[in-house]
Amino acid sequence: MTYRIAMVTLVAIAVGIAGSLAAIGFVEAVHWLNDLLLISPYARVQAGNQPGLVALATLVVPTLGGLLVGLVTRYLIRERRGLAPPDAILAAQTPGPTPGFRSGLASTLAALLSLGSGASVGQYGPLVYLGAMFGNLVGRLRLNLRHQRSIAIACGVAAAISTAFNAPIAGLVFAHEVILRHYSLRAFAPVTVAAATGYIIANVIFDRPALFLVEFSRVEHSYEFLLFALEGVLCAGLAWVFLRLLRLSSRVSRRYIAPVWARPAVAGLLVGVVALWIPEILGIGQETLRFATIENAFGISELTLIVVAKLVLTSLCLGFGFVGGVFSPALLIGILFGALYGTVLPHLVPVAYSGPVVYAICGMMALASSVIGAPLTTILIVFELTRNYDLTIAAMVAVVFANVVSYRAIGRSLFDLELRARGFDLTLGRDKAILESRPIRDYLSTRYTTAQGMESVETVRQRLVREQRAEAMVVDNRGILLGVIRLQAIINSAPDTPILRLALRDFTRFDEKTSVWQSMELLRGFLGEAVPLVSGEGQLLGVVPEEAVIRAYLEIVHELREEENEGA
């Protein structure tokens, strides 16, 4: 017990330090590139006496950045795509192989190039995977700890989010809400330590600035909570539009641009062209996000234009292959939409209200929570960043209504949709998803009776009696499964009848891709001892006894319940 507690604490601290330092280094590298390449507003203002250079950089930098991202993705990342939070979720939920460390570093490089060159993508997705990557490395060590990999991954993610937002509680909840999908003391304690470690490094040692500062006293009128709820519903609709645009841009890129490595460059060129008129769409947009909380910083037409442009170009960049996250763009689009909503309200509803700031914050968190599927995390981010109870309650109302609608319209999150496209469906809970990810071939048995098609009934009957089995697999000379014969079906048959004549041709069978969940479904109405498992060519590889399917199901469910309910 003492060893386990000590090692878990050391793992949490080590992963927390690594994840936090990596997150800080990544963010600083992005800012340095933005300044160097004239992407950041500060650098563009400094070069204001050289408008030709600024315009040239606006066009060339995103285009060349996209080309480099495409080449890195094509030749250095084994998966041929950027690694993101869905990969962290999959690694934490399943025991299978994960992307290698080289792919993780290459993906981080691609994300750095994407953000550094001004692509309209987010930084928090790469930070989440960066933390998960360090957690996965520690998870491979032989420390004799239960659920070591999933806990270490959650620790890395919690530290990265805690560092990025200066919000340790939000980092802790995000790791449980999005990555682990459960709460248990065994995971809760080390993840808390990692989140606190990230916060100490970011806020105490490096004194990182807050994402934004907001001055807000309180919600002045009770009827405004109805307006917050309506804003949440509208943000859910905006999240649905965002998802549709992502899918559309992905289809367009595949249809019209054959070389995969060239797609980000095309998106970069389009970003540069639009940025000549709307520079706010470049990069992460932290300055734009901060200005959105200042009353009258943007007019109605400006807010509308930036929201539409950012929505379209973020979808374009992600769909065309730039590597980055969706959280940052969702925060920016949401806060701008919320500011627009709060600015338009006085013209539509002639009643007193509390100003646009509260509506900007509500919009930011409502849209972000709909996209990433983490309502508790987003509510806690508001509270930890602002320390304002009234503002948090207002955001909570918007977030709740946004998630109620978005869950019906698009599912829990964009991450879950991506995982479902890969065959890992979390919509019906962890049990079904993990049962679907475990192949039944792991329970394969090679103890079975075979028969050749031309063998006689009497020969097969004697073999079954001798081997004490009630069925035999009928195969040809190449081992191809032809049918199944059951003892009760041949007891009264003529002894010299070829066995193939009596074999069942329509029977339950598994293949190499059949999961434990699918095997349970296929066993409905099954009568027999075991189910044959065949290769893609139909060759018999072995059998799975009915008892083994039930045992597999019970073992996995028991393992999940133990993980979710065990103590430290």
> How do residues 39-83 score in pLDDT, each as one tens digit?
999 899 888 789 899 999 999 999 999 999 999 999 999 999 999
pLDDT above 60 for 568: no
Task: Report whether 510 contacts 544 (CB < 8 A).
Answer: yes
Tell me which of 251-260, 333-342, 521-530 is least confident: 521-530
pLDDT above 60 for 469: yes
pLDDT above 90 for 4: no
pLDDT, position 297: 84
Strand partners, 474: 451, 483
Distances (CA, A) of 180 to 88, 101, 147, 177: 10, 21, 11, 7
pLDDT, position 321: 94
Tens digit of pLDDT for each residue in 119-143?
999 999 999 999 999 999 988 888 8
Q: What is the rounded average pLDDT of the residues 158-163?
A: 94
Share of the chain above pLDDT 70, in %: 98
What is the dihedral sign for C-alpha 243, 247, 253, 256? negative
pLDDT, position 542: 93
- Which H helix or E strand runs over 541? strand 540-545
Question: HEC profile for 125-181?
Answer: HHHHHHHHHHHHHHHCCCCCCCCHHHHHHHHHHHHHHHHHHCCHHHHHHHHHHHHHC
CATH of domain 2-205: 1.10.3080.10
pLDDT above 70 for 567: no
pLDDT, position 282: 92
pLDDT, position 37: 94
pLDDT, position 1: 65
- Is there a shared CATH topology between the 2-205 domain and the 224-425 domain? yes
pLDDT, position 566: 61
CA proximity to 123, closest of 209, 255, 30: 30
pLDDT above 70 for 118: yes
Where is mean pLDDT largest: 214-218, 384-388, 523-527?
384-388
Task: Report whether 134 contacts 337 (CB < 8 A).
Answer: no
Angle, vertex CA 61, rays to CA 56 and CA 62, nearest 5: 120
Average pLDDT for the chain: 90
Domain 224-425 in CATH 1.50.10.100: no
pLDDT, position 2: 77
pLDDT, position 365: 94
Domain ranges of the chain: 2-205, 224-425, 438-556
Count CA atoms within 13 Å of residue 27 on its CB side: 25
Distances (CA, A) of 100 to 19, 91, 106, 390, 541: 17, 11, 10, 45, 30
Determine the Cα–Cα distance for residues 264 and 274; give it in Å rounded to an integer.
15
Q: What is the rounded average pLDDT of the residues 258-271?
A: 95
CATH architecture of 438-556: Roll (3.10)
pTM for the full predicted model? 0.85
Share of the chain above pLDDT 90, in %: 57
Tens digit of pLDDT for each residue in 367-382?
999 999 889 999 999 9
Tens digit of pLDDT for each residue in 320-352?
999 999 999 999 999 999 999 999 988 888 888
Assigned token pair, 380: 């806690």
Q: What is the rounded average pLDDT of the residues 89-105?
A: 87
Q: What is the rounded average pLDDT of the residues 165-178?
A: 91
Residues 6+ apart with CB under 8 A from 450: 472, 473, 474, 475, 540
Angle, vertex CA 470, rays to CA 468 and CA 475, nearest 5: 105
